[in-house]
Structure 1
Amino acid sequence: MASAASVRKAVAAEFVAQRGIAVPLIGMNLTWFAKLAVTTAFLGRLGELDLAAGTLGYSFANVTGFAVLTGLCAAMEPICGQAHGAGNAALLRRALAMSTAMLCAASVAIALLWVRVDAVLLRFGQQADIAATARAYVVGLLPDLAVTSFLNPLKAYLSAQEVTLPPLFAATLGLAAHIPLTACLSARMGIRGVAAAVWISDLVVAAMLAGYVLLGGPQNAADDDEHHPKEASSHRQQLSWCCLLRLALPCCLNTCLEWWSYEILVLLTGRLPDARRAVAVVAVTLNFDYLLFAAMLSLSVSASVRVSNELGAGDAALARRAARVSLAGGALAGVAGGMLMLAARRPWARLFSRSPEVREGVGRAMEVMALLELVNFPLNVCGGIVRGTARPLLAMYAVVAGFYVLALPAGVLLAFKARLGLRGLLAGFIVGAAASLAVLVAVILRMDWTAEAQKAHKRCTAHEHQQHQEEDDDDCNCNCSNAAVTTSQP
């Protein structure tokens, strides 16, 4: 009885820890979606052309730029999470600096593509006036690439240390600044002013987080270096670019492939009979899914942080417990998300359209999406768990197999061959996401957590003979700090 009570107490403590990370992150992510809604509303006030071009331009910027930067930055989660668990402030700062430099370099390449966005859109059959206006909007967003290259690493740096309230506070102030900025600049500069308001409000958030880290952050690497100069010098040599890139590239591919699959879904919807109505239906449906994605992303980061922290601390049992509590929380959140999708389908449709046909289509599509949410929540949590173990290739393989080998082909067959339309496309995604989830859950449940803790220990300990050790394809054997591996009971 005492043992069962202690287990329940430990599980409850883990749940509280994850809730403390996830809830502020949900609020922070919701401010981002609110900011997007404000931007879209002001684009609509400028006119139909600006709304269409701005929406198209932002979609292009999102899939070719911000998705790439977000994916690359995800490599910080296992590095910083395990370093924080091991108590290595020097590595945390090193990872922050290197990740920022990596994102800045990537932004240069992305910017070269963005300045040619009109040519790309014309090549894909867009009208000349829409392409030209979209270019004005995307070029206006170019400074946001540089801002995001600093903002994303700062958020990852803080969340890896379970510091989530300052980012929430900064994001809320950024949203408060974004509304008057957009109103003022859009009136003076049109669509370029809307774009300028986006990066200026992001700059406000980045400046606040940078000030917090430099002046009162949770980990002071300067103090760490002052007290342990030899150890800090060794740490600075131990996070190599090879190590960072071996984590960053799979994380980037995983993020981009998943985001792109939904863009492909929208493109396929445009080839259905009565395409205009079908595209309107899927746009309204996915808007609600984006709100739920704020919770999915937060739960994913929470799982990654808790697992990586415990592995960095060398505690295999606590890492296993964190993973299992995360899985249970993801499953419960999936049920809640699906029920919310069902409950909101009619009022959500009325909010966006007056057409009875569109409202009916949204209601039916959201019924199918409710089933997809049952899978999407735990799937995103699984992605966070495997990132926390510094094995992002597992998630990437699952996404490729689930979404590109199963979901899209199955969706095409159901939509066009079986003539199920949009519901068929969404059903295909359920099949693919369920397959990805099954693979990742099987891997996580069979994972040798003691071995994972030992691998984390190797990443976080200076080894004289590291060059003689075998390297796993999925792991990055870079050194972080000293941490002992323990195997306390769950």
Structure 2
Amino acid sequence: METPLLENQSSPTLCRRSLIESKKLWHLAGPAIFTSICNYSLGALTQTFTGQVGELELAAVSIENSVIAGLGFGFLLGMGSALETLCGQAFGAGRLRMLGIYMQRSWVILFCTALILTPVYVFSNYILKLVGVYDELADLAGEFAIWMLPQLFAYAANFPIQKFLQSQRKVMAMAWVAGIVLVIHAFLSWLMIMKLDWGLVGAAITLNLAWWLVVLGEFGYILIYCTDAWTGFSWLAFKDLWGFVKLSLASAVMLCLEFWYLMVLIVIVSKLPDPLIPVDAASICMNINGWDAMIALGFNAAISVRVSNELGAGDAKAAKFAVWVVSVTSVSIGIVVMIVILCTKGIFPVLFSSSTAVQEEVTKLASLLGITVALNSLQPVLSGVAIGAGWQAIIAYINIGCYYIVGLPAGILLGFKFNFGVEGIWGGMIGGIALQTLILIGLTASTDWKKEASQAESRVRKWGGSLEDGNGSVENNHVAHE
């Protein structure tokens, strides 16, 4: 067991404090990054294999992954992210039994949400045509979306499980499941899409199967190894649902506004003249950006757990210090990835498409991709701080202003009015990301962490911490600083 960072050392140097905190963060972030990359690679590999089938198939899968599945993914992930605040702070306060209740409440809400989203999948071809996607592409993407409905409900099952495990720092189990499923998915994708020539049908079968294997693997682990936090299904899952829904909706709006922002780039690009090549090129860049974003998303999960655990335990100084350590670490990695992209911009496009025209367009977009990667190395981390502290509603308003009032109109103006095409659209949207990042930096720097710790204690009591038995007070000192 590690020595508490700030209380039990007489005068630790900044370097030593940073090393201790970095060790705690990487213990969480390393497996979380690996898990995020593996889970994201399920869809990305499907896109890569279909890219070898044809340009239209690649565009259809890209549209479905980015817009339709992206909508479901973003909304359900956001709804499930309420658990990062509640489970993390309850774990920090030693209220272990409440974690299982929170997860079940989240399942009820997310499965109902998935049912509400089902018509979006069923009628997605009409929706895509309505926003300007040309008929042939919209029809094929809409057909693929209907085949991908099982994935939507896998999201609803999986996200609460992930937050339940993350809040207890059981991230290695998630990493093992994700890695094994990715290997299975890669083999089955090659077999069904390339070898058996099943095309989009094979892509849908393998992708749906992969996500449900993730759900079954992680839930099986919970049944065996999480008996303190999981005591079986309970009617308490249906208690205080409306209040839980409100917090879930705030989380959903916050994350959806972020997640959809760059995904909508594909839709806007599809309205350019002769859009097939730009759509394919932009989707490849978004694919790479998504892989890199999984690194920041891993840090997002890690800092959310660290902040919520420390605030739940009442240690404001440790929460504040964790924020600065993870920010420096993530930005450093983002800069390295940006340099790699810029140095290989004439090479990596070949891996994603056999079309020379698409490869050349990707090379042109590489500089914008590099800038986006650098900015996105910090922004998701600060969003993780917001989730850990319970600031979802505030961040939602910031996202609306920066992304949809500033960035998106600027991109449309540059792309269509000034005829800069896909480069102009993307460049304008980068401005929105930069503005949001600056505001989040200011918000984080001005935070009163003692006040946040006090609010975390109130939140644990409000959301059912009093239902925990007396063991909670015994566990508290051990759980918070393991």
The Cα offsets for residues 322-366 of structure 1, whole Å up to 9 and x where unpaired, read as 122222223323322322322232212343457776555433422
The Cα offsets for residues 145-177 of structure 1, whole Å up to 9 and x where unpaired, read as 222221121111111111111111111111222
- In 1, the alpha carbon distance for the partners of 2:379 and 2:134 equals 38
Of 191, 207, 213, 2:222 maps to 213
- In 2, the alpha carbon distance for the partners of 1:267 and 1:140 equals 21
- In 2, the alpha carbon distance for the partners of 1:401 and 1:264 equals 16
Of 444, 463, 468, 1:478 maps to 463
Within a 5 Å distance, the mapping from 1:91-170 to structure 2 comes to 91-124=98-131, 130-170=137-177
Distance 1:286 1:221, change over 3 A: closer
Of 83, 101, 108, 1:76 maps to 83
Distance 1:239 1:85, change over 3 A: farther
- In 2, the alpha carbon distance for the partners of 1:196 and 1:454 equals 48
Greater CA drift, 416-425 or 209-218: 416-425
TM-score, normalising length from structure 1? 0.84
Paired position in structure 1 for 2:250:
250
- In 2, the alpha carbon distance for the partners of 1:28 and 1:455 equals 31
Paired position in structure 1 for 2:30:
23
Alpha carbons 1:372, 1:429 under 8 Å: kept: no
Paired position in structure 1 for 2:260:
260
Paired position in structure 2 for 1:292:
292
Distance 1:329 1:394, change over 3 A: farther
Paired position in structure 1 for 2:4:
none
Alpha carbons 2:114, 2:153 under 8 Å: kept: yes
| 1:12 and 2:8 correspond | no
Distance 1:294 1:202, change over 3 A: same
Alpha carbons 2:83, 2:102 under 8 Å: kept: yes
The Cα offsets for residues 418-461 of structure 1, whole Å up to 9 and x where unpaired, read as 54443333332332112111211111111111111011111223
Q: Secondary structure at the match of 2:346?
A: helix
Alpha carbons 2:181, 2:213 under 8 Å: kept: yes
- In 1, the alpha carbon distance for the partners of 2:380 and 2:69 equals 19
The letter for the 1-side match of 2:207 is V
Paired position in structure 1 for 2:46:
39
Distance 1:220 1:49, change over 3 A: same
- In 1, the alpha carbon distance for the partners of 2:272 and 2:352 equals 21
Within a 5 Å distance, the mapping from 1:50-449 to structure 2 comes to 50-124=57-131, 130-182=137-189, 187=196, 191-217=200-226, 219-222=228-231, 236=236, 240-272=240-272, 275-352=275-352, 359-449=359-449
Distance 1:23 1:316, change over 3 A: same
Identical aligned residues as a percent: 26
The letter for the 2-side match of 1:105 is C
How far does residue 61 in structure 1 lie from its aligned partner after superposition? 2.9
- In 2, the alpha carbon distance for the partners of 1:444 and 1:321 equals 11
How far does residue 280 in structure 1 lie from its aligned partner after superposition? 3.8
- In 1, the alpha carbon distance for the partners of 2:239 and 2:447 equals 26
Alpha carbons 2:102, 2:237 under 8 Å: kept: no
Paired position in structure 2 for 1:468:
none
How far does residue 47 in structure 1 lie from its aligned partner after superposition? 5.7
Paired position in structure 1 for 2:3:
none
The letter for the 2-side match of 1:289 is N
The letter for the 1-side match of 2:337 is G
How far does residue 261 in structure 1 lie from its aligned partner after superposition? 2.0
Aligned pair count reads: 461
The Cα offsets for residues 222-250 of structure 1, whole Å up to 9 and x where unpaired, read as 39x9xxxxxx99xx599722332222112
How far does residue 402 in structure 1 lie from its aligned partner after superposition? 1.3
The Cα offsets for residues 193-252 of structure 1, whole Å up to 9 and x where unpaired, read as 4312222222222111111101112744439x9xxxxxx99xx59972233222211221
Distance 1:115 1:270, change over 3 A: closer
Greater CA drift, 148-157 or 53-62: 53-62
- In 2, the alpha carbon distance for the partners of 1:351 and 1:317 equals 46
Greater CA drift, 357-366 or 67-76: 357-366
Distance 1:342 1:129, change over 3 A: closer
Q: Structure 2 stretches of 5 or more lacking a match?
A: 1-8, 467-471, 478-482
The letter for the 1-side match of 2:426 is L
- In 1, the alpha carbon distance for the partners of 2:389 and 2:58 equals 42
- In 2, the alpha carbon distance for the partners of 1:4 and 1:414 equals 54
- In 1, the alpha carbon distance for the partners of 2:58 and 2:376 equals 30
Q: Secondary structure at the match of 2:345?
A: helix
- In 1, the alpha carbon distance for the partners of 2:119 and 2:452 equals 40
Q: Secondary structure at the match of 2:465?
A: coil
How far does residue 381 in structure 1 lie from its aligned partner after superposition? 0.7
Alpha carbons 1:239, 1:478 under 8 Å: kept: no
How far does residue 15 in structure 1 lie from its aligned partner after superposition? 0.9
How far does residue 93 in structure 1 lie from its aligned partner after superposition? 0.5
Tell me which of the two structures has the higher relative contact order, counting C-alpha pairs closer than 8 angstroms and 6 or more residues apart. Answer: 2
Q: Structure 1 stretches of 5 or more lacking a match?
A: 226-231, 462-476, 486-490
